[in-house]
Structure 1
C-alpha cells in the first residue's frame, strides 16, 4: 500500500493512546471529512484537527491515511452488509428479497450523512493500490445482490447482471437529488424501482402488482 507523504510523529502501535473510543472518533471524523471533501482533499492534519488531536496522535492509531481509509471503508461496508442481511432474514421469495434489500441499501445511503459515498468505486479511482484492497470489502456485499438476482425467475435471455447494475445505478444516484423533507421517502423510491423491474420481468402468474 502506498505511503502518505506526511510523516508520523509517533509510531503506530495497535490501539494506541486513548484506546478504542479515540480510534472510533478518528474514523468517524475521517468519514465525515472525506465524504464532504473527497479523499485527496482530506489530510491527516484535517482529521486530527476535527477530533482535537495532534497529527502524531492520529498516526499512533493509523500509520497512514491509506490505512485509515481502508479500515473506514471496511466498517462502512460491514454496516451496510449487516443492514441488508437483517432486512431479508427469513424471507424466501426472491422478488420480496430484492425489494427489501434495495430498500435497506437506499435507506443506508440516505441516513448516514453521505458516509456511504466512500464505498463508491469512483471515490478513490486514482489510488490504485488502495482500490485493490477495498474491492475485496465490497465483494461480500455485492454478492448478496448477485445471489438475489440469480434466484429471480427471469425471462430467457435476460441479463441479470445488467438489471442488477442498473438498479444499483438508480439507487446510488438518489442521494444526489433526494430531499429529506420532500414528499418521497427512501422506502417508497426503492420500492418503485423494484416494482418497475418486477412488472417488466416477473412471470405473469407470480402475483405481481
Structure 2
C-alpha cells in the first residue's frame, strides 16, 4: 500500500503540469483562432505562442482540429453555465431572454483566461467537424429554445427562425465589436432583446 501511495503522489504533479500545459495551449489557440481564423492558424503558431516546440503539442492534442474542438467545447460550457446562472431566478420569458443575452455577450467579450470561441458559421476546413460542433451546442440550444418557446411572439413569427436569428446576432458580436466604442457587452445584449421585442 505504501508503494502505491508514493506512486500516486509522484504522478499527481505530472498530471497537474500536463493539465496546465493543455490549458495554456487552448488559451493561446483560442486567441489565434479568434484573431486569425482557423485556416490561417497553424500548429507551429499555437506552439510558438504557448512557448513550446511544435511537436510537443501532439502530446496533448492529436491535431489542430482537436484543439479547436476543445476550445469550442470550453466556450460553449462557459456560455451555458453563465446563462443558466443568469436566468435561474427569473420566470418571465422576456426577462429571461434579456438576462441570457447579457450573459452570452459578457461571456463572448470576456477577457478571461480562456477566450470564448463560438463561430457563427463553419468554414470549409471545419466541415468534417460540423456534427461534433453542433453536438457541443445542443445543450445550450435547448435552453434557448425553451425560453423562446414561452415568448408571446406575434402570430406568424416562426419561433425556430426567431431563435436562430437571435443566436446569430449574439454570436456575430466578436466580429464587429470594438472595445474603443465604449459600448458595454451587457448593454448590447439588452439592445438586441429590445429590438426584437418591439
> Structure 2 length normalisation: TM-score?
0.82
More helix by share: 2
Q: 1:159 to 1:67 in 2, by over 3 A?
A: same
The aligned length equals 184
> Equivalent residue for 2:160?
161
Which stretches in structure 2 are left out of the alignment for 5+ residues?
Answer: 1-13
1:52 & 1:168 partners in 2: Cα distance? 35
Which range is displaced more, 152-161 or 121-130? Answer: 121-130
Q: Does 2:23 correspond to 1:20?
A: no
Per the alignment, residue 44 of structure 2 pairs with: 45
Partner of 2:33: 34
d(CA) in 2 for partners of 1:182, 1:72: 27
The aligned counterpart of 1:128 is: 127
- Give me the whole-angstrom Cα distance separating, in 1, the residues matched to 2:180 and 2:40: 30
Aligned Cα RMSD in Å? Answer: 2.3
Unaligned runs of 5+ in 1: 1-14, 200-209
- What is the rounded CA distance, in whole Å, between the counterparts of 1:62 and 1:180 in structure 2? 33
**Cα shift at 1:86:** 0.8
Return 16-25 or 51-60, whichever deviates more: 16-25
The match for 2:108 is: 109
Deviation >4 Å, runs of 4+: none
C-alpha distance in 2 between matches for 1:123 and 1:168: 15
The whole-number CA distance in structure 1 between the counterparts of 2:124 and 2:115 is 17
- Structure 1 residue 145 corresponds to structure 2 residue 144: yes
